[in-house]
Amino acid sequence: MSGSIFINIFLDGLFAAIAAIGFASISSTPRRAYVACAVTAAAGHAVRYVLMRPDLLAVSIVPATAIAALVVGVLGVLFAPSIKCPAEVCFFPALLPMVPGMYAYHALQALAMCLASPGGAGFQAAFGAFASNGLTCLFIVLAMVLGANVPVFLLKNIAFRATR
């Protein structure tokens, strides 16, 4: 791997960390949790970035997001006792930079094109784009939910220690 790949991984994590701190700041997250949110977001987004790089592993976005959300969930559970907050406080802001906004936008755009086209080939193409983007968006969100919550249930002793 060249040095620019490491820089790109670092920048991807850095921008995710900045976004997570922004999301944490508008959602009444205690300030003591900001660093944990940032580290969790940076690690999760960097893992997804590495998994999806075509010159590295070339994993598609849904399984890459599931694995990244699993990393976010594990880190959230591990940080929870030290920040004295539930794990969700840490991993919700960390997951928000991974929300599939472009897929949702393109799905709604294609749906509008479906409604505007009278039928035929234009409708079929727009409906195909709607189905593809909409299902991808749905599965990414499901991967995020499952990936982040599995560690909470598997590591109950650690996850719920912070709230006892």
What integer pLDDT is reported at residue 1 of this predicted model?
54
- What is the C-alpha separation between 65 and 26, in angstroms, rounded? 24
- CA dihedral 107→109→114→115, nearest 10 degrees, is 120
How confident is the model over 77-116, as pLDDT tens digits?
A: 999 988 988 889 988 999 999 999 999 999 999 999 998 9
Q: What is the mean pLDDT of residues 150-159?
A: 84
Orientation of helix 87-95 relative to helix 61-83, angle to 10°: 140
What integer pLDDT is reported at residue 143 of this predicted model?
97
Question: Has residue 116 been placed in a domain?
Answer: no
Question: Has residue 27 been placed in a domain?
Answer: yes
Question: Has residue 84 been placed in a domain?
Answer: yes
What integer pLDDT is reported at residue 47 of this predicted model?
97
What integer pLDDT is reported at residue 146 of this predicted model?
96
How confident is the model over 38-80, as pLDDT tens digits?
A: 999 999 999 999 999 999 899 999 999 999 999 999 999 999 9
Question: What is the token pair recorded at 49?
Answer: 């970035």
Question: Has residue 115 been placed in a domain?
Answer: no
Question: CA angle, 128 as apex, 137 and 133 as ends, to 5°?
Answer: 15
* pLDDT exceeds cutoff 60 at 162: no
Question: Has residue 111 been placed in a domain?
Answer: no
- Number of domains the chain is built from: 1
Question: Has residue 9 been placed in a domain?
Answer: yes
CB 45, CB 72: distance < 8 Å: no
Question: Has residue 31 been placed in a domain?
Answer: yes
How confident is the model over 11-38, as pLDDT tens digits?
A: 999 999 999 999 999 988 999 999 999 9
Question: Has residue 130 been placed in a domain?
Answer: no
Q: Which domain holds residue 59?
A: 3-98+144-159
What integer pLDDT is reported at residue 156 of this predicted model?
80
